[in-house]
Amino acid sequence: MNFVKSVLALALLVFVTGCGKDDVNPTPRPEQFELYIDFWNPNGNDPQISFDKENSSPEIRIDFSKTFAGIAVPPNFTNVIIENVRLIDENNINYRIDEINAYEWREDINDWKQDVEFVMQFNQVQDIAVVLVLDASASLGDDFETIKNYANEFIAQILLQNTNAQIGIVSFSDQISSFGMTNNHTALNSYIESIEQGPFTSMYEAMDVGITMLLNINAESKAILTFTDGTDNNSGPGFTPASIIEKLGSDPNDAGITSFTIGLEGNGGVDKPVLEALAVNNGQAAFPNTLKELGEVFNGFSESISTVYNLTYIRNQQVIPTTDPAKLRFVFESTPKQQ
């Protein structure tokens, strides 16, 4: 009997110790994501890259349809900069880049060889501009006060990540009002608290106002987050999803304006295909079913917007023909950000 008691006591001790070590604030596990690139430099001073989307990890959010051109850097280097890169998985978890290891395919060994001379550098973008486009239609009812709180928390998280971020707000119902770009947290909160609800939904027209605000400001990274619980039923005929998508890509910044959309499954009935189509330039669409889920989406999108990187591939000026590009592989050592 004493032996049985001893065994049970030991088992309990192991269980309790294990719970205390593993279940309380566990350390996020690092992940690896891969980006595959073709690189060519036909004249030695005009490097270019294109992406292999099929083999690259879907968590790496880049406009895979684009070709990025670089420049020659005296005395004998070339740089290609890839702008507005985010790491986000299918569950909208954001990742921090800790390290990028470079590899090049070598025909002579029929394998990937790690490269320590030609590297991919990364830096988190600090110069960001964001516009929050907020539905203030009557269909939100008493929930609108909670949504105001989420909007304030969204702004707080952006400014916590980057105190110099420029943030603007556009609110819409039958009327559209806006508050210009600033990093004054108190002023932004005061504006949100002053928003009053009204009938109808002028979403496309409000997004157009928000995009114009972003086009008129200089920033390395620009994003727009649009929240609604309904379908546009009040914008003028000149404002359509197609016109909004075209305008989102018209920024002089090659990466365009990244668009995030949130559709709350509420009284208004959201148009999922439209909101998904409007989430362009590496943006995302989310469709929470409850207010609690909505708060989690706002928080996740604040991370997505503020955690953005520019990558710089550095190589020499060796001539590499367009017809026989170098095959490159980059492994991102990444850590999920704590929510």
Q: Are residues 148 and 276 in the same domain?
A: yes
pLDDT at residue number 238:
95
Phi, psi at 294, each rounded to 5° = -60, -40
200: left (phi > 0), else alpha (psi -120 to 50), else beta?
Answer: left
pLDDT at residue number 256:
80
Q: Are residues 152 and 172 in the same domain?
A: yes
pTM: 0.85
Q: Are residues 144 and 236 in the same domain?
A: yes
**Domain with 153 in it: what CATH number?**
3.40.50.410
Token digits of residue 202? 């002028």
State whether the Cα torsion 117-120-124-125 is positive or negative: positive
Q: What is the pLDDT of residues 265-308, one digit of tens each?
A: 866 589 999 999 999 988 999 999 999 999 999 999 999 999 99
Q: Are strands 258-263 and 221-228 parallel, antiparallel or unpaired?
A: parallel
Which residues span the domain enclosing 276?
A: 128-306
Flag whether 8 is in a domain.
Answer: no
pLDDT at residue number 253:
63
Q: What is the pLDDT of residues 316-327, one digit of tens each?
A: 999 999 999 999
pLDDT for 107 beyond 90: yes
Q: Are residues 88 and 176 in the same domain?
A: no
pLDDT for 190 beyond 50: yes
Buried b (16+ CB within 10 A) or exposed e, 48-72: bbbbeeeebbebbbbbeeeebebeb
Q: Answer whether 301's CB lies under 8 Å from 61's CB.
A: no
Tally of domains within the chain: 2
Q: Are residues 107 and 251 in the same domain?
A: no
